[in-house]
Amino acid sequence: MSYQKELHIAQLAVQRATILTQRVFHGTKGTESKDDKSPVTIGDYGAQALIIHALKHNFPNDQIVGEEEASTLRQNPPLTAQIWDLVKAAQLDDPAAEQELGGPLESPEQMLQAIDAGSSAGGSRGRIWALDPIDGTKGFLRGGQYAVCLALIEDGDVKVGVLACPNLPVDDSAPLSADVGQKGSDGEGRGVLFAAVFRTGATSRPLGKGALRAGQPIRMKDLPDITQATFCESVEAGHSSHGDQAAIAKKLGITKESVRMDSQAKYGSIARGAGDLYLRLPVRADYEEKIWDHAAGDLIVREAGGKVTDAEGKPLDFGRGRTLKANKGVVAAPKTVHEQVLDAVKSVLSSK
């Protein structure tokens, strides 16, 4: 199966959602707190509604694992009205592309139903979309990097992955600056849409507001000398152990300062060679990564010539439900040096 329709719709749906997220990024973000104390914004809710509406129009029988649900909104009509205003205004400026996504949502109730349609438990059978409407919400709130992420998982394997990163440079050859995670901008020359289909490679294209723009293949950078590698890691110490990462860098002879940024923008950055290595190291023994935080990025890096495993060297298993129950941590690197990086990871973690 070629998955070309799935790829096309996923890219258009994510691109339309960024029209909404960019508007919220520059305005009032309307933050709530979820049960796990992580933040959620009006942008998260609106983007999830838009994307699920598009998926259900095109693939009505597919399941969706979405990060958000609408119970809070049903108890808060003013907040619902605020999100509805954003959703109504978020339309592609290409009428044919907009119609491919099923056109605009018709009512606030349809919006709430779309948000709640992301309640699948996941699993290893059938077609399941994993959606993170705003990955890196803290980066989004801080004015840094964030991503809108969507992946199709079929029988436990990721087949399609799409990442929209409105604040990353369009230029695939632009090096990562040390402050890229703190100073996000979606102005001129910014906004990139990464995508991949299993066994067909990965691409990037400028993020637009209408039909998809022309794309080009991306590949991870050759890394003949690992001491010259650029590490990407999370901004939040609660997401990945910065101390362990520093010890791993020292063991590999890497002296360059790590680039810290939020979201799966890290996966996109190393996939196109702007960075080289991405580590997400366990901070708690009982923590389980969410599938929507990794599915799209995992495929894009692998299709760009990289290898992604957990900290024990096992592939990420997206067929266990809504979380990566079978995995601890993430190690993403070019295939040629992945084993070397993994050995350093194992050495540092085993010495604790």
Burial of 343 (0-12, 13-18, 19+ CB in 10 A): middle
Provide the pLDDT confidence category of residue 237 given band limits of 50, 70 and 90: low
**Chain segment 197-210, per-residue pLDDT in tens:** 999 999 999 999 99
Instruction: Measure the CA–CA gap between 37 and 39, rounded to whole angstroms.
Output: 6
Strands 231-233, 277-280: pairing is: parallel
pTM over 0.75: yes
Judge contact between 270 and 232, C-beta under 8 A.
yes
Provide the pLDDT confidence category of residue 29 given band limits of 50, 70 and 90: low
Task: Taking each helix axis as running N to C, give the angle between helix 242-252 and helix 335-350, from 0 to 180 degrees, rounded to the nearest 10.
Answer: 120
H-type alpha helices, 117-275: 137-142, 242-252, 265-271
Model confidence at 105: pLDDT above 70: yes
Active site residues: 44, 137
Number of H helices, E strands in the chain: 11, 14
Q: Which of 133, 39, 46, 32 is nearest to 81 (CA)?
A: 46
Instruction: Measure the CA–CA gap between 265 and 232, rounded to whole angstroms.
Output: 10
Whose structure tokens read 């693939």?
59
Model confidence at 240: pLDDT above 60: no
Instruction: Measure the CA–CA gap between 347 and 247, rounded to whole angstroms.
Output: 10
Output phi, psi for 41, to 5 deg: -115, 170
**Chain segment 324-334, per-residue pLDDT in tens:** 999 999 999 99
Question: Which DSSP letter does residue 162 get?
Answer: E
Provide the pLDDT confidence category of residue 352 given band limits of 50, 70 and 90: confident
Nearby residues of 4 by Cβ (< 8 Å), 6 or more positions away: 197
CA 346 to chain centre: 26
Instruction: Measure the CA–CA gap between 178 and 184, rounded to whole angstroms.
Output: 12
The total number of residues written for the chain in this structure: 352
Q: Which of 215, 210, 219, 176 is nearest to 193 (CA)?
A: 215
CA distances from 204 to 21, 60, 249 (A): 20, 28, 29
Q: Looking at residue 188, what is its pLDDT?
A: 80
Q: Which of 256, 282, 257 is nearest to 348 (CA)?
A: 282
Burial of 61 (0-12, 13-18, 19+ CB in 10 A): exposed
Residues forming beta bridges with residue 332, ordered by sequence position? 278, 308
Average pLDDT, the chain: 93
Rounded to 5°, angle at Cα 333 from 328 and 336 = 125
